[in-house]
């Protein structure tokens, strides 16, 4: 497999770009890397893994503090101090949808942790 989509990449030079495009990857190696990264070949596991990582995009290191995340006051204060912007908007909408309430956010956080556990 080669990576023609890299034509959109911003690499240091046209030569670097062409070298990257021409570099071939065996699909069996990509399958192995996928399995190692996402703890299996199932798409559902990969989605759960990525959603868990998105919680870190949204909450930073607070994502590991479940007690803090499940407290309405803490969530309100967190979003006052760190409003959702830039890349975090994308992660927030993937995890919670648009305009979620605190109860639905806590339910989705709980689901994300449950689905991502081994």
Report CA Rg, the chain: 19
How far is the CA of 60 from the CAs of 11, 24, 44, 54, 65, in angstroms? 29, 36, 24, 9, 10
| Both structure tokens of 23 | 């570099």
**What does the pLDDT look like over 95-111, one tens digit per residue?**
999 999 999 999 999 99
The model's pTM is 0.70
Exposed, middle or buried: residue 74 (CB in 10 Å: 0-12, 13-18, 19+)? middle
Inter-residue contact 98 to 104 (CB < 8 Å): no
**What does the pLDDT look like over 61-80, one tens digit per residue?**
999 898 888 998 999 999 99
């Amino acid at each position: 497999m080669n990576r023609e989509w890299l034509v959109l990449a911003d690499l240091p030079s046209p030569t670097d770009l062409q070298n990257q495009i021409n570099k071939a990857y065996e699909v069996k190696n990509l399958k192995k890397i996928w399995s190692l990264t996402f703890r299996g070949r199932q798409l559902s596991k990969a989605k759960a893994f990525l959603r868990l990582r998105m919680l870190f995009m949204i909450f930073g290191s607070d994502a590991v503090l479940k007690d803090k995340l499940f407290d309405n006051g803490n969530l309100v204060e967190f979003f006052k101090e760190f409003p959702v912007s830039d890349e975090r908007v994308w992660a927030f909408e993937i995890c919670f949808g648009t305009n979620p309430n605190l109860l639905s956010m806590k339910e989705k956080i709980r689901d994300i942790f449950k689905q991502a556990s081994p």
